[in-house]
Each structure stands twice: as C-alpha cells, then as structure tokens.
Amino acid sequence: MPATRPLPELVCPAGSLPALKAAVDNGADTVYLGLKNDTNARNFAGLNFDDRTAREGIRYAHQHERKVLLAINTYAQGGDISRWHRAIDEGAELGVDAIILADIGLMEYARRRYPALRLHMSVQSSATNYEAINLAQELFDIRRAVLPRVLTLDQVKQVIDHTRVEIEVFGFGSLCVMVEGRCLLSSYATGESPNSHGVCSPAKFVRWEHGSQALGARLNGILIDEYQQGEAAGYPTLCKGRFEVEGDTYYALEEPTSLNVMAMLPQIIDIGVAAIKVEGRQRSPAYVAQVTRTLREALDAAGREPQRFSVKPGWTQALSKLAEGQQQTLGAYNRPWK
Amino acid sequence: MRIPELTLPAAMASLLGRLPATPPCWALVTTLNQLKKRDILPADMSLLAGHSFEVHVQDAGLRLGFCADEQHFKVASVGTAPDLRLSANLADFARMMLREEDPDTLFFNRKLIIEGDTELGLIVKNLLDSVDWSSTPLQRFMAV
C-alpha cells in the first residue's frame, strides 16, 4: 500500500470578482484570473480584472488562505511586447502567488526581473513530455506545468515520474480540439487565434441567425453550425462546427463536449498529480460555484476512501447540466490504444 | 430559494402584452441608473453608449426597451430592431439574475436567446456577472 498522497490542489477559474469569491466560498484551493487585455487567453469583452478588482480578489483569497494565479498565457506579439511585460510587472506588484506563462521569452523576462516570483508553465506552451518540462525548469525555474489534454493517464504518470516540476491536469470544462498552444484554426476564419489575441471565436466576428427552423452560428461569415429546435447549442468555434465533407454533414473535427475526470480521481491522486484545473473563466459565478462545490466534494471523498470511491449521481447531474454539448468524457486520459 | 420550473400561462402574456410597457421599463431603467450611481453596477458606459437594448420576457409578453448614453440608461421605444435583444421566460431571467443558473448554460439549452450584436451581448453578460452583490442587501437573495 503506497503512502497516502496529498490531495491535488483544486484550481478554479475566475473571470470576475464575484466568480473569484464564488470559487473561494465553495472550496477552491487556488483561483486563476487574467487582466483586461490580450495578455490572456480569455480576452473577452467585459471579462477579467482591472487593478481594483484584482487587488480586492487577491485580498479576499489570501484572507481565506487560498492562492491566486495570474494567467499571462498568450504569446507576446512582435512590434510591441510591452503589454506582456507590464502584465508580468503588475502581477509581481499585486502579489499573486504565481504567474502562468506560455511564451518562453516572457518566462525569461519574469525570471530575470523577479527572481522570487513563482512561475507556472501554461497549457498553451504545449509541453507534452518531461524533457520539455525539465528544460523549462532548468532555464527558467518553472515550478509547475499544466499538461495539454492529449495524454493518457499512463503518459501523465510517465511525465510525473521523470520530473521534479509539479504537474497540473485539466479536470473539468469545455474541451477544445486539444492541440493547445498549436491551434491556428480560428485565425483561418478571423485572423485572430488564442495564441495571438487570446480568443478562439472573437465575439465581433460571431453572428447568431435566428431562422424559422434553426439557429445558425456564423464566424466571420462562415457557417459553423445550425442547431435545430430543441437541439443544444455550443460555442461558435471552428473546431466544434458541423461541416459538409464529401456530401456528408457532421462534426468534422470534434463534437462539443466537456471533460470530466471525476471517475478517475483516485488514480489521479495516486499517480501524484499536484493540481486539478477547472476550465471556464468565461463562465458566470453560478457555474464556478456549482463546479467548484461538486469537485471539492468528489475530491475530498476520493482522498478519504480511494478504494471505495464512486461517483455520486448527484455530482454527475450537477456537472452535466453545465457541460457544453451536455455530454462528458474522460478525454484522452482514458484511451485504450497507444 | 430555488426558482420553480414555471412558465406563465399564455393568457398572462396576452393580457400583459396589451398593457403599456412604459412603467416596467421605467422601473428597469431607474434601477440600472441607481445601481450605477451607487457603484454597484460597474458599467463602462463608453462600451454601451449609443446602443439600444431590449429585454423580452417571453411568457409575460413583455418587451422592455432602453438605450444608453455616456452617462445614463434611458427608456426607449421598442419596435425598431435593437442592437441587442435578450429573450427568455421570466423564471429563466430570474435564475440568471439570482445566479442560480449560468447564462451560457441557458444559452446551450436554448432557453436564452441572444439576437443582434454578439460582442455587445458579451459585454452585458459579463457586466451582470461582475456585479458584486455582497456589498448590498440583495445578497441574501443570491444563490451565489
């Protein structure tokens, strides 16, 4: 019987101050947030934190002995990288517990300017193997890496066994096409991508067309999908669209679905995952509260009695209501083939 | 307090639909201006100014039209296509406002309809999400 592992940190999203408070109040160990500009990958109109709300949020979290991470997870764009440097300066000045970075140029800046600042490697860095993670540790002393959602649980274990860097994995939330940090799909339609502008389907390019039969979703004029009466809608991103391919119309890239690792929590704890992340800074405080509460309960139960752990129907119900596409999957974690 | 699964009877819509929309609309606009004045609604008016909005409470047959300038929200006539229209049944609007339900969830489930300028819709949604009710007496009604 192996020694009991510590429970992974539950890392929850905050797109606004009430969402941050909802995460803290419902049992998040850590919250992550972004600033109101394109230095983060949820650069949506009206979302995120300014100086006042960031200060208040950090005060609230620290008062409750929780941690705050600042996501600066887009790639600094040539011409003017000062915004990204300023965001790092601001994070250091605000006193966040760590900064989540994707761009190695920014890792270098942060390490040089703020030697004591804790750095996490974003999922957008797309580091899927321990060699890449260990190199980032050697060069920039990163303390944690967030793994892209492409590895099986065995592969995650393989990474953990070969690095001293803490490993964070995704636990719940909308799944994207899962080539994080390497996805250029949306720039094909709009010229803007998550890496460059912090958003997959910029709202200014999105049009919802309310026809008599169906709801149409267009991204910069391209028809992404048509939802029939009563059919669940999804986010209007290219990867989740239904397209006509050789006379057949179907989800040519992926189906809208949500990741949910609840069923695997005992194994995730057992292999030594340091943190479990919930997706969804774009979602409201209601979502953050419901997901955080449910995962907190499940994680605590899995920690108490890993052998007897089973997913309660109430948990599944609570989460499936919130899921995009209203279906949930274990994603790549549970892939029988190699 | 959980809001029950409830749709107003059709007769209600046809009755309410015939009453003048100005009093409820005036009440909505006054509330918005008060919340803004007291710094509870952290509205960046530069993003809203010059735009027209309509809240369509489907089962109540109620259409509330308003617009914004650099300082205030104002009652506006409905009829012409607004820049942004949000439509839902009363119970779903209430769930959204009391943070029992996430607007994206309602949207995925086709219970919330967003028409017009998508970016403006996102600004409004995120504005409502960013209201910190904990500093107000209304907090006790909030689910979160």
Domain segments of chain B: what residues? 10-141
A157 alpha-carbon distance from chain centroid? 20
Cβ <8 Å between B108 and A324: yes
- Is A176 known as a binding-site position? yes
**A325 shares contact with chain B (CB less than 8 Å):** yes
Residue of B nearest to A257 (CA): B108
CA distance A15 to chain B (A): 8
CA distance A231 to chain B (A): 8
Task: Give the nearest partner residue to A46 out of B99, B114, B127, using CB atoms.
Answer: B127
Residue A242 neighbours by CB under 8 Å, 6+ apart? A224, A225, A226, A249, A250, A251, A252
> For an interface test with A, which of B2, B47, B96, B108 has the most A Cβ atoms less than 10 Å from its Cβ?
B108
CB of B131 within 8 A of CB of B36?
Answer: no
Is the CB of B119 less than 8 angstroms away from the CB of A203?
yes
CATH topology for A9-175+257-334 is TIM Barrel (3.20.20)
Q: B134 and A21 in contact by Cβ < 8 A?
A: yes
Nearest residue, CB atoms, B99 vs list A53, A284, A321: A284
Residue A1's pLDDT is 46
Write out the CATH class of domain B10-141. alpha beta
Tokens (6 digits) for A90: 């601001």
Any CB–CB contact under 8 A between A231 and chain B?
A: yes
Q: What is the pLDDT of residues A14-39, one digit of tens each?
A: 999 999 999 999 999 999 999 999 99
CA distance to A56, A206, A239, per residue, from A28 (Å): 17, 33, 30
Does residue B81 sit at the A interface (CB-CB below 8 Å)? no
Identify the residue among A284, A287, A288, A326 best suited for mutation to test binding to B, counting B beta carbons within 10 A and taking the highest: A284
At A146, which amino acid appears? V
Is A183 annotated as ligand-binding?
A: yes
Measured at the CA of A262, the angle between CA A160 and CA A253, to 5 degrees, comes to 80
Q: Is B65 on the interface with A (CB under 8 A)?
A: no
How far is C-alpha B44 from the geometric centre of its chain's CA atoms? 17
Provide the shortest C-alpha distance from residue B101 to chain A (in Å).
6
Could you say which residues of chain A have pLDDT below 70? 1-3, 178, 325-326, 336-338
Closest partner residue to B105 (CB to CB) among A18, A21, A322 is: A322
- Assigned token pair, A304: 């108490």
The Cα–Cα gap between A224 and A242 comes to: 6
The string over A265-289, giving b where at least 16 C-beta atoms fall within 10 Å of a residue's C-beta and e elsewhere, is: bbbbbbbbbbbbbbbbbbbbbbbbb
Q: Is residue A239 a known part of a binding site?
A: yes
> Is B115 at the interface with chain A, CB within 8 A?
yes
Note whether B131 and B41 are within 8 A (CB): yes
Q: Are A122 and A101 spatial neighbours (Cβ–Cβ below 8 Å)?
A: yes
| DSSP state, residue A163 | -
Whole-number pLDDT of residue B27: 92
**Residue A118 corresponds to which amino acid?**
R
Contact residues, chain B, for A25 at CB < 8 Å: 144
Residue A139, C-beta contacts closer than 8 angstroms, at least 6 positions apart: A104, A107, A108
A326 chain-B contacts, CB cut-off 8 A: 108-109
A2 DSSP 8-state letter: P
- Cβ-Cβ contacts under 8 Å between A and B: the total is 100
Longest dimension (CA), chain A: 62
User: A170 CA to chain B: closest CA distance, Å?
Assistant: 20
- Chain segment A224-249, per-residue pLDDT in tens: 999 999 898 888 889 889 999 999 99
Q: Which residues pair with residue A207 across a beta bridge?
A: A218
List per-residue pLDDT tens for chain B, 144 residues long. 678 877 888 887 777 777 777 888 999 999 999 999 999 999 999 999 999 999 999 999 999 999 999 999 999 877 778 999 999 999 999 999 999 999 999 998 899 999 999 999 999 999 999 999 988 888 888 988
Cα of B86 to nearest chain A Cα, Å: 12
- pLDDT of the residue at A2: 52
Do A46 and B130 make contact, defined as CB atoms within 8 angstroms?
yes
Point out the residue among A17, A22, A287 whose CB comes nearest to the CB of B105: A287
pLDDT at B1: 60
Query: A36 — contact with chain B (CB < 8 Å)?
Result: no
CA gap A6, A29 in Å, rounded:
13
Identify whether the C-beta of residue B116 lies closer than 8 Å to the C-beta of residue B83. Answer: yes
The minimal CB distance from A233 to the residues B100, B107, B115 is found for B107
Between positions 286 and 305 of A, the ones with CB within 8 A of B are 286-290
- Report pTM: 0.93
